[in-house]
Amino acid sequence: MKLEILTSSPEDTKRIGRSLSQLLSQGDIIFFLGELGGGKTTFISGTAEGLNIKGNVTSPSFTLINIYDFVKGGIKTRLVHCDLYRIDSFKDIPDIGIEEYIYDTKSVVFVEWGCFLKEKISRDYLEIKFEYFFEDLDAEDNPEAMNQKRKIIFSAENSYWKQKLELLKSMKLF
């Protein structure tokens, strides 16, 4: 199942992230794919806001992993936000010491750039892909305004995430 949403500003992208936060539960794992600057971190900062995580959520490209505590439905849990942009293959995972976080089923785990990992991990996952949106060619003269538009594609192959996507589809997003 695929769900495509167009956003025309970082604020819109953040809003979608916020909506997704309502559907999350412990043990969820989501892979975020797409170009640098595609809106992954923006989206995730919206989700973090929705989870009542205080403070600025920034890209963990330096630390590889950032961990944020939050409480949902009276249960203390945490958001594990990894950025595997710099890691090219699965065999590097044990070396860099992040295994225990990625396989943590008590947390909500977000993985940016983890394409190679997605194939190896035997869990029901959601994939969210971010693309620059180029169709609108009259914007030729104003690339700054154009560079705000994104296509966000949610895809799920398993019934668990398909159900959640149906819920997301029925929500008022903007």
Regarding beta strands 29-34 and 108-112, do their DSSP bridges make them parallel or antiparallel, or are they unpaired?
parallel
Around 48, how many Cα atoms within 13 Å sit in the side-chain half-sphere?
Answer: 23
Find out whether 158 and 166 touch, Cβ atoms under 8 Å. no
CA-based R_g, the chain, Å: 16
The nearest distance, CB 58 to other proteins, in angstroms, is: 6
CA distance 103 to 161: 18
Task: Based on the shown chain and the rule CB under 8 A, indicate whether residue 69 belongs to the binding site for other proteins.
Answer: no
Task: Based on the shown chain and the rule CB under 8 A, indicate whether residue 103 belongs to the binding site for other proteins.
Answer: no
Task: Based on the shown chain and the rule CB under 8 A, indicate whether residue 111 belongs to the binding site for other proteins.
Answer: no
Strand partners, 31: 111, 127
Nearer to other proteins, 149 or 164 (CB): 149
The nearest distance, CB 71 to other proteins, in angstroms, is: 20
Nearer to other proteins, 92 or 166 (CB): 92
Around 29, how many Cα atoms within 13 Å sit in the side-chain half-sphere?
Answer: 18
Task: Based on the shown chain and the rule CB under 8 A, indicate whether residue 96 belongs to the binding site for other proteins.
Answer: yes
Considering only the stretches 17-25, 105-113, 142-150, 151-159, report the one whose residues sit in contact with other proteins under the rule CB under 8 A: 142-150
Binding mask 16-55 for other proteins (x = CB under 8 A): -------------------xxx---x--------------
Residue where the block lists tokens 């997003």: 173
Residue where the block lists tokens 């992993």: 65
Residues that bind other proteins (CB under 8 A): 35-37, 41, 56, 58-59, 61-64, 85-87, 92, 95-98, 132, 134, 143-144, 146-147
